[in-house]
Amino acid sequence: MAEPPLYHVTFLRHGESVGNLENRFQGHADFPLTETGRAQVRALVERWQAEGRSFDRAFSSPLLRARETAEIICTALNIPLEMDSNWMEINNGLLAGLSEEEAAQSVPLPAVFTPYTHTGRTGESRWEVYLRAGRNLQKLVDYPPGRTLVVAHGGILNMALYAILGIPAQIAHSGARFTFHNTTFATLSYEPENHIWRLLHFDNRPQWKED
């Protein structure tokens, strides 16, 4: 009996960025990778090459930290790459690029951050990001079954996993949260004939070693 057709999806967060290093709110602020971030990505490439991991297609947020991560991987593994702005990080409005100290002075967080609260006053709500993640999933399964890599950001990837696992958008800092450290990836499969998603692997181990 033939195996049912499957989608294999890997969600990957970018390597360390300048914004990560400086502990800034990133959102749409366009920070490049650090040298450490590039080393993390190269180490991940080496690991995937050793494992024989391959992909039919890749999508990336066009923000520099994700784009550079995706380009390093896709060049090394010979994967067709498409930039897709729907995989950009949450638009965090006036918080973009600020340090925590700067944000506390100019854009203090509300006492209760509901799913409908606009991030950084002028940005997206968590509900809007959740809906965007759902549209992204629709696009993935509109392709024929195969192996897809998505290179993006912690916020949008959390919302994608929420949508897959049936978790509603949460009040900030409550409920389930998937910690995507730099170059953490999640591997899932989807069986369309029976509408079965499986979270196969969530990897938080460091992907590189300092010299």
pLDDT recorded at residue 208: 55
Q: Strands of 53-154 (E only): list them.
A: 57-60, 81-83, 147-152
pLDDT recorded at residue 175: 83
Q: Could you tell me the residue ranges of all domains in the chain?
A: 7-203
What's the predicted TM-score (pTM) here?
0.94
- How does residue 211 score in pLDDT terms, banded at 50, 70 and 90? very low
155-178 confidence digits (pLDDT tens): 999 999 999 999 999 887 788 889
Cα separation of 181 and 200, whole Å? 18
**Structure tokens that stand for 86 in this block:** 């729907």
Residue 1 scores a pLDDT above 70 = no
CATH dotted code for 7-203: 3.40.50.1240
**Structure tokens that stand for 16 in this block:** 């360390």
Sign of the alpha-carbon torsion through 97, 101, 107, 113: positive
Residue 193 scores a pLDDT above 90 = yes
Instruction: Check: CB of residue 185 under 8 Å from CB of residue 13.
Output: yes
Cα separation of 73 and 71, whole Å? 5
